[in-house]
């Protein structure tokens, strides 16, 4: 019976996940509607019940067992999780749960095939590809950073998929920094810290998503640092993502910061028009298959790529809604329909920041007079905020340098360029300034 359920699970969770998480389980009792399973480590018990509880229940039922509940407890299990270093690892670890898709270990859609490459992400993509080749480690860690929805998680999942397809002998562990902390705290509480260390030190590729999360969490940082060093020392590949550069993560220990910087640091830039259009075309192509007969008028995708410039997730959401809506009402997807059905999204992304607004917010932040922003004073206490405002005007609006110059009391475009450069330079070393700018940006972009 368990054999049958296990076979079915192999299909539903995938071969690699199956051999890592399901095969080591042993069924020890099946009565009163309870299926009692045993796993060899505490970590596995938790992971399996959190991520595979439902699928296991379903598979058992499909195999004809009258099961109401599945319990997983610590026992002998069938095989040790960490194999002795001498024998080549046969199993790939693929524990991964995505917050967006509880219970789905890795998002099957996040592959290299579905990742559209453009100028803003080509370097990140190339680096991810290199790691996914599974060859000798050339840079360690690979540190991917960029704003929300630019494809960091997608690339990490793609690496995991590719490695498990081509190098199933490698043990790949993907998780978010939050899950890392959760596991760590749990291990401390359950006095399973040795298991924890053993597990994390026995992988070949460790990927930790959204690492900014551990900033300020002292003991988790500490443990992360040791895990990191142990793996690097063994020549194991590490991939990290964060929403900002290592230098900009506040409350991160200096030694961790410098460790993170010593591999390859690549950023995913905000999307440009071509990339957005490319992504829309790819997704629309996929939708055509699921909504046969639906007509997509010319110009609709171009319109969306122009108008929705925030993150890719919003862009995808818009397209999903558009196709669903059109098929429900049985209409062709035209510009009119798009405008009608996406009014809220379009309105939200229409909110453009103005230079005046930037000047006002920056003046407020630095407690200087608005009139001084555009005035001639050269005092540093005023010149610096003015340069910050120039910098933000360049990055948050589509105004040209001469135009920005005009709004700053008729300054020359070279003065504006100088101001922007100055801020760029300072931000590299002045973390307070970088932080101020990050804050102002978020204030105005939201
Ligand atoms: P991040 O982790 O950087 O916040 P995600 O990787 O979760 O962003 O991406 C958000 C969504 O946008 C996902 O559905 C992802 O598939 C999609 N996406 C982002 N970049 C691309 C791209 N270049 N090609 C295709 N889809 C993308
Ligand atoms: Mg992400």
355-445 architecture in CATH?
Answer: Orthogonal Bundle (1.10)
**DSSP-derived secondary structure for 408-425:** TTS--HHHHHHHHHHHHH
From 310, 301, 257, select the one nearest 280 (Cα to Cα).
301
Ligand 1 atom with least separation from CA of 275 = 23
For 150, the token pair is 């630019």
Give per-residue pLDDT as tens, 63-106. Answer: 888 888 898 888 765 644 333 333 333 333 334 332 222 222 68
Residue 16 confidence (pLDDT) above 90: no
Distance CA 394, CA 380 (A): 21
Q: Where are the domains of the chain?
A: 2-74, 119-268, 273-350, 355-445
Give per-residue pLDDT as tens, 158-187. Answer: 999 999 899 988 888 999 998 899 889 988
Average pLDDT, rounded, for the chain:
86
Give per-residue pLDDT as tens, 121-139. Answer: 999 999 999 999 998 888 9
- What's domain 2-74's superfamily in CATH? DnaA, N-terminal domain (3.30.300.180)
Global ipTM: 0.99
Give the residue whose CA is nearest to atom 19 of ligand 1: 151
% the chain with pLDDT above 90:
51
Report the predicted TM-score, pTM, of the whole model to 2 decimal places: 0.63
> Would you state the pLDDT for residue 329?
86
CATH class, range 119-268: alpha beta
Residues placed in the known binding site: 149, 151-153
DSSP state, 430? -
Contacts of 434-441 with C-beta under 8 Å, sequence gap 24+, read 434/247, 434/248, 435/248, 435/250, 436/365, 436/388, 437/388, 437/391, 437/392, 438/244, 438/248, 439/365, 440/358, 440/361, 440/362, 440/365, 440/388, 440/392, 441/392, 441/395, 441/396
CATH code linked to domain 273-350:
1.10.8.60
Distance CA 39, CA 21 (A): 9
Picking from 54-58, 76-80, 114-118, which range would have the lowest pLDDT averaged per residue? 76-80
More confident of the two residues 92 and 50: 50
> Would you state the pLDDT for residue 43?
67
Distance CA 56, CA 33 (A): 14
Residues placed in the known binding site for ATP: 149, 151-153
Ranges assigned E (strand) in 180-330: 205-209, 237-242, 264-268
Q: 241 C-alpha vs ligand 2 centroid, how far in Å?
A: 8
């Amino acid at each position: 019976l368990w054999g049958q359920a296990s076979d079915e699970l192999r299909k539903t969770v995938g071969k690699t996940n199956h051999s890592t998480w399901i095969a080591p389980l042993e069924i020890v009792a099946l009565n009163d509607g309870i299926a009692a399973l045993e796993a060899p480590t505490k970590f596995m018990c938790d992971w399996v019940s959190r991520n595979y509880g439902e699928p296991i229940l379903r598979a058992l039922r499909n195999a004809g067992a009258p099961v109401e509940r599945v319990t997983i407890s610590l026992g002998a299990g069938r095989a040790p999780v960490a194999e002795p270093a001498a024998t080549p690892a046969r199993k790939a670890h693929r524990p991964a749960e995505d917050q967006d898709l509880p219970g789905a270990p890795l998002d099957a859609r996040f592959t290299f095939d579905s990742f559209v490459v453009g100028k803003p992400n080509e370097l990140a993509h190339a680096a991810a590809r290199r790691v996914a080749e599974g060859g000798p480690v050339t840079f360690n860690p690979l540190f991917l950073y960029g704003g929300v929805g630019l494809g960091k998680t997608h690339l990490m999942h793609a690496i995991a998929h590719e490695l498990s397809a081509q190098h199933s002998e490698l043990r790949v562990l993907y998780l978010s920094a939050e899950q890392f902390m959760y596991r760590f705290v749990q291990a401390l509480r359950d006095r399973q810290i040795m298991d924890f260390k053993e597990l994390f030190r026995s992988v070949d590729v460790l990927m930790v998503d959204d690492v900014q999360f551990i900033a300020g969490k002292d003991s988790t940082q500490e443990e992360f640092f040791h895990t990191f060093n142990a793996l690097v020392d063994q020549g194991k590949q590490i991939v990290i993502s964060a929403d900002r550069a290592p230098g900009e993560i506040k409350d991160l220990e200096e030694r961790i910061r410098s460790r993170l910087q010593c591999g390859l640091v690549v950023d995913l830039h905000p999307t440009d028009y071509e990339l957005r259009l490319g992504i829309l075309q790819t997704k629309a192509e996929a939708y055509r298959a699921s909504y046969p007969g639906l007509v997509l008028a010319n110009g609709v995708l171009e319109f969306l790529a122009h108008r929705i410039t925030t993150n890719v997730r919003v862009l995808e959401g818009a397209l999903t809604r558009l196709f669903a809506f059109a098929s429900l009402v049985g209409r062709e997807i035209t510009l009119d329909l798009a405008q009608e059905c996406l009014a809220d999204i379009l309105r939200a992304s229409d909110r453009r920041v103005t230079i005046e607004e930037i000047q006002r917010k920056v003046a407020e932040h630095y407690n200087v007079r608005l009139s001084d922003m555009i005035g001639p004073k050269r005092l540093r206490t005023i010149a610096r905020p003015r340069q910050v405002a120039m910098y933000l005007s360049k990055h948050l609006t589509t105004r040209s340098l001469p135009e920005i110059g005009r709004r700053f009391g008729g300054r020359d475009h070279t003065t504006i360029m100088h101001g922007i450069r100055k801020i760029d330079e300072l931000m590299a070393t002045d973390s307070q300034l970088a932080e101020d700018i990050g804050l102002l940006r978020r204030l105005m972009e939201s």
